[in-house]
């Protein structure tokens, strides 16, 4: 089969690899219908996150089950399924607590020795605890929305929950990538009274407005902090969603959160943390978040997509065939695309 591999900074290839086949009775094999490139994949593309030459890459996909192990009971051949970006058994203490990303038998697609999501098929370990089937009569036009639930929408939702967004909240979202935009959508869905989207790109600001943003802040650094303070009567936001993971983004988050507020962070940390525990303590600012347990949120978010109450699909602005996946990476790295769907 064909699959995406990474061989070094900027070196993305599509190569022949061994077919995905069952290895354990708890496995399933999924034929990928749609995958996509994640902003976190770009850290490896830039050489910041290290990968072994030839390692698979990609962790977001939806597809059709084509084979199941003898112990798999939750899905069957022919089911269309969503795969969260980590697999999990659904039975350990962490899974029971809703933290499937820490599953004792879990992992992430593309880790050494495992299939990545950007390929023709994927062997899915722990299929019963991982895959979520969608109704067989679901409209195929919903596939991009289903794909967003594999990572970015669930991650934006995790940021909003971690920041304590409730009806009436004043929210600010740091970052205008796909996760940040899904954070805007999540905050709106949870009933925020005001959602301030922070970013410099007008095309992304348009998506933010579509998702419910009430205000747009294009400034950066201290100017951005001052602008958010102006918009909130000098108080700052009661809930801040940090969706970037860099030191400057954390400085902004700390500058715009009001005393007694919360920061929900889902940006993969890179560089200095920029945290001052004394400042957090003195201002009673809470911090929560981390790797989003997307599997925990999938049933709830999927129900809203199926009911027409939620549509995160506008975060995808381009579709490319698998053989052109290197161009997809370049387009996202060069900010010519927001998030690219990859179609095997």
* Closest C-alpha among 24, 19, 14 to residue 1: 19
Q: Which of 9-18, 161-170, 272-281 has the lowest mean pLDDT?
A: 272-281
Which pLDDT score, from 0 to 100, does residue 50 have? Answer: 87
pLDDT band at 272 (very low <50, low <70, confident <90, very high): low
Which pLDDT score, from 0 to 100, does residue 314 have? Answer: 99
Q: Which residues contact 40 (CB under 8 A, 6 or more apart)?
A: 49, 268
Percent of the chain with pLDDT over 90: 95
Q: What is the mean pLDDT of the chain?
A: 97
Does 162 lie in the same domain as 259? Answer: yes
Q: What is the C-alpha to C-alpha distance for residues 144 and 313, in angstroms, rounded to an integer?
A: 5
Residue 280 pLDDT > 70, yes or no? yes
Which pLDDT score, from 0 to 100, does residue 269 have? Answer: 86
Does 299 lie in the same domain as 270? Answer: no
Alpha carbon 287 to its chain's center: 19
Does 69 lie in the same domain as 47? Answer: yes
Which pLDDT score, from 0 to 100, does residue 274 have? Answer: 58
How do residues 325-338 score in pLDDT, each as one tens digit? 999 999 999 999 99
Which pLDDT score, from 0 to 100, does residue 129 have? Answer: 98
Q: How many domains does the chain have?
A: 2
Q: What is the C-alpha to C-alpha distance for residues 303 and 323, in angstroms, rounded to an integer?
A: 33
Q: What is the C-alpha to C-alpha distance for residues 216 and 206, in angstroms, rounded to an integer?
A: 10
How do residues 171-228 score in pLDDT, each as one tens digit? 999 999 999 999 999 999 999 999 999 999 999 999 999 999 999 999 999 999 999 9
- Tell me the residue range of the domain where 166 lies: 155-289
Residues 306-321, mean pLDDT to the nearest whole number: 98
Does 186 lie in the same domain as 229? Answer: yes
Does 324 lie in the same domain as 240? Answer: no
Residue 119 DSSP one-character state: B
Does 127 lie in the same domain as 11? Answer: yes
Q: What is the C-alpha to C-alpha distance for residues 337 and 329, in angstroms, rounded to an integer?
A: 9
Sign of CA dihedral 145, 19, 296, 337: negative
Which of 289, 319, 335 terminates a domain? The answer is 289
**CA terminus-to-terminus distance, the chain:** 10
Residue 273 pLDDT > 70, yes or no? no
For residue 86, list its beta bridge partners. Answer: 108
Q: Where are the beta strands (DSSP E) in the chain?
A: 2-8, 11-16, 28-36, 55-56, 61-68, 80-83, 86-87, 107-108, 121-124, 132-133, 170-174, 194-198, 215-217, 237-242, 257-265, 286-289, 318-321, 340-343
Which of 274, 289, 304 terminates a domain? The answer is 289
Q: What tokens appear for 322 in the block?
A: 């698998």
Residues 242-269, mean pLDDT to the nearest whole number: 95
Residues 245-267, mean pLDDT to the nearest whole number: 96
Does 327 lie in the same domain as 252? Answer: no
Does 301 lie in the same domain as 244? Answer: no
Q: What tokens appear for 275 in the block?
A: 């945290």
* Closest C-alpha among 98, 39, 139 to residue 339: 39
What CATH number does the domain containing 55 carry? Answer: 3.90.180.10
Residue 75 pLDDT > 90, yes or no? yes
How do residues 289-313 score in pLDDT, each as one tens digit? 999 999 999 999 999 999 999 999 9
Which pLDDT score, from 0 to 100, does residue 275 have? Answer: 78
Which pLDDT score, from 0 to 100, does residue 321 have? Answer: 99
* Closest C-alpha among 193, 188, 36, 181 to residue 109: 36
Which of 272, 289, 306 terminates a domain? The answer is 289
Q: What is the C-alpha to C-alpha distance for residues 45 and 5, in angstroms, rounded to an integer?
A: 11
Q: What tokens appear for 308 in the block?
A: 């027409």
Alpha carbon 274 to its chain's center: 23
Does 78 lie in the same domain as 59? Answer: yes
Q: Give pTM, 2 decimals.
A: 0.96
* Number of neighbours of residue 50 by Cβ within 10 angstroms: 10
Q: What is the C-alpha to C-alpha distance for residues 156 and 239, in angstroms, rounded to an integer?
A: 13
What CATH number does the domain containing 205 carry? Answer: 3.40.50.720
Does 325 lie in the same domain as 255? Answer: no
Measured in residues, the chain has a length of 344
Does 123 lie in the same domain as 55? Answer: yes
Does 17 lie in the same domain as 129? Answer: yes
């Amino acid at each position: 089969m064909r699959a995406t591999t990474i061989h070094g900074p900027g070196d993305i290839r599509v190569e022949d690899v061994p077919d995905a086949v069952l290895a354990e009775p708890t496995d399933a094999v999924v034929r990928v219908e749609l995958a996509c490139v994640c902003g976190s994949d770009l850290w490896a593309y830039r050489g910041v996150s290290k990968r072994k030459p030839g390692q698979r890459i990609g962790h977001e996909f939806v597809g059709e089950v084509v084979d199941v192990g003898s112990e798999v009971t939750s899905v069957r051949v022919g089911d269309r399924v969503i795969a969260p970006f980590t697999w999990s058994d659904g039975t350990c203490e962490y899974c029971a607590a809703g933290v499937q990303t820490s599953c004792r038998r879990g992992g992430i697609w593309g880790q050494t020795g495992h299939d990545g999501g950007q390929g023709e098929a994927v062997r899915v370990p722990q299929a019963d605890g991982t895959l979520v089937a969608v109704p067989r009569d679901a409209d195929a036009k919903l596939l991009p929305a289903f794909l967003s639930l594999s990572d970015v929408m669930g991650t934006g939702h995790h940021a909003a929950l971690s920041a304590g967004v409730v009806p009436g909240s004043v929210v600010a979202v740091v970052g205008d990538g796909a996760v940040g935009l899904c954070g805007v959508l999540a905050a709106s869905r949870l009933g925020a009274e005001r959602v301030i989207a922070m970013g410099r790109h007008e095309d992304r600001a348009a998506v933010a407005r579509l998702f419910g943003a009430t205000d747009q802040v294009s400034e950066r650094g201290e100017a951005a902090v001052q602008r958010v303070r102006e918009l909130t009567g000098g108080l700052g936001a009661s809930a801040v969603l940090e969706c970037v993971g860099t030191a400057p983004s954390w400085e902004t988050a700390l500058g715009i959160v009001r005393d007694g507020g919360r920061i929900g962070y889902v940006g993969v940390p890179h560089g200095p943390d920029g945290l001052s525990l004394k400042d957090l303590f003195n201002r009673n600012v809470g911090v929560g978040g981390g790797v989003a347990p997307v599997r925990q949120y999938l049933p709830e978010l999927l129900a809203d997509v199926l009911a027409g109450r939620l549509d995160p699909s506008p975060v995808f602005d381009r579709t490319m065939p698998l053989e052109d996946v290197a161009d997809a990476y370049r387009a996202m790295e060069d900010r010519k695309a927001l998030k690219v769907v990859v179609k095997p």
